[in-house]
Amino acid sequence: MGSFIATRLVRLVATLLAVSFLTFLLVNLLPGDAINALIPIEAQQDQEYVAQVRAEWGLDDPMLVRYGKWLGDAVRGDLGDSIVTSRAVSSEIAHRIPVTGELMIVTVIFSVLLAVPLGVMSAYREGSRLDQFISGGAQFALSVPGFVAGLLFIYVFAMKLGWFPATGWTRISNSISGNLMTVTLPALSLSVIEVAVYTRVVRSDLVTTLKEDYILSARSKGLRDGFILFRHALRPSSLTLITVVGLNIGLLLGGTVVVEFLFALPGLGKRLLDAIFQRDFMMVQGITVFVAMVYVVVNTLVDLVYLVVDPRIRKAD
């Protein structure tokens, strides 16, 4: 157990180093000089001023030197300042993360809550009309991008029915019910594909599990089907689901960018998008590394969840 966690920690640090370096490299390879973001074009006539600003931001140093400096600050929690707003990148992230974090958590909860019953019903009645309907629906939902679902939901639930606001965000500290109203539609939009993926994963794993001898054995004990499904079959069938949820959290971060834009949410994804357009390389760098860290931490947690779910892994480690 201890060595398991130690191994994961080493892997986490190595991953973060690699991600931050690659991001640094990519941001530097982007066309366009950061000086354009720092000084208006007309002011760039003043060569002396330009040279001074370049020296101030360290733009003339070799890339490795700049990366070293950035890394040295980053390990102390300082991700630098935004070139555009001059505010600390870390405080921008801290300000925005509650929105994106909540959006993602609610999305995962919605998706799992919908997908597990659908997958279980589908597997339990394998080959039936219901199964075909659910599997067909999942196939269709897979091909609906989040922003299309978002537009549809805005049209139906916000404009026609008026149940939810179309755009905007209410912070949870201001009003819990208001917050739930603003998170529902964006989370549902993101959930469409997630539900489809998870339903298929649950169904296919469960169909395999239901053919196991221990399920027959449970039946021969006179247990009810519902009990067998949820107390015997679901847990051995959930390992793939856990893996896929973990991996999908990374994809979800990408999805939030579009959905935050669509619903005008003040989240991290929207901030990242703005930063890219503004050539705010410190911001892009900071957000990317932060997101990578979340991703790696989440997947490490997923590995720990395996230990809880499957006692055989506990033993083997």
Of 105 and 308, the one with the shorter C-beta distance to another protein is 308
Residue 99: which residues within 8 A CB-CB, separation 6 or more?
A: 169, 260, 265, 266, 267, 268
Report yes or no: 89 and 74 within 8 Å, Cβ to Cβ: no
Q: Using CB under 8 A, count the residues that bind another protein.
A: 24
Q: How far is the CB of 17 from another protein (least distance, A)?
A: 37
Start-end of H helices in the chain: 2-29, 35-38, 47-57, 63-74, 89-124, 129-142, 146-153, 176-209, 213-220, 225-227, 239-262, 268-277, 281-309, 311-316
Name which of 130, 245, 253, 132 is nearest 198 in CA terms.
245
Residue 308 CB, nearest approach to another protein (Å)? 11
Contact with another protein (CB under 8 A) among 61, 212, 274, 303: 212
Residue 207 makes contact with another protein by CB under 8 A: no
Buried b (16+ CB within 10 A) or exposed e, 201-210: bbbbbbbebb
Question: Which residues fall within 8 angstroms of residue 80, CB to CB, at 6 or more apart?
Answer: 70, 73, 74, 88, 89, 282, 285, 286
Binding to another protein (CB under 8 A) within 98-137 occurs at 127
* Span of 60-68, 102-110, 229-237, 262-270 interacting with another protein by CB under 8 A: 229-237
Give the nearer residue to another protein in terms of CB position, either 20 or 237.
237
Residue 31 engages another protein in binding (rule: CB under 8 A): no
Q: Is 226 in the site for another protein (CB under 8 A)?
A: no
Return the residue of 76, 129, 160, 315 that touches another protein, per CB under 8 A: 315
Tell me the two tokens of residue 123: 């597997």
Residue from 53, 223, 276, 307 touching another protein (CB under 8 A): that is 223
Return the closest-CA partner of residue 100 out of 269, 271, 287.
Answer: 269
Position 259: which residue type? V
CB of 234 to another protein, least distance (A): 10
Of positions 31, 40, 221, 277, contacts another protein by CB under 8 A? 221
CB of 221 vs another protein, minimal distance in Å: 4
Identify which range of 34-42, 46-54, 111-119, 227-235 contacts another protein by CB under 8 A.
Answer: 227-235
Minimum gap (Å) between residue 133 Cβ and another protein: 18
In contact, 80 and 89? CB cutoff 8 Å: yes
The first and second tokens of residue 234, run together, are 């679901």
User: What does each C-alpha distance from 282 to 27, 57, 121, 201, 230 come to in angstroms?
Assistant: 9, 11, 49, 39, 48
Closer Cβ to another protein, 206 or 287, answer by number: 206
Within positions 242 to 301, which residues make up the interface with another protein, using CB under 8 A? none
56 part of the interface to another protein, by CB under 8 A: no
Nearer to another protein, 274 or 310 (CB): 310
Q: If binding is defined by CB under 8 A, does position 181 make contact with another protein?
A: no
CB of 230 to another protein, least distance (A): 12
Selected range binding another protein among 6-14, 112-120, 187-195, 220-228, rule: CB under 8 A: 220-228
- DSSP class of 126: T
- Tokens 């998870």 correspond to 198
220 binds another protein (CB under 8 A): yes
Tokens linked to 71: 């890394």
What span, in angstroms and rounded, lies between the C-alpha atoms of 5 and 34? 40
**Which residues contact another protein by CB under 8 A?**
127, 212-214, 216-225, 227, 231-232, 235-236, 309-312, 315
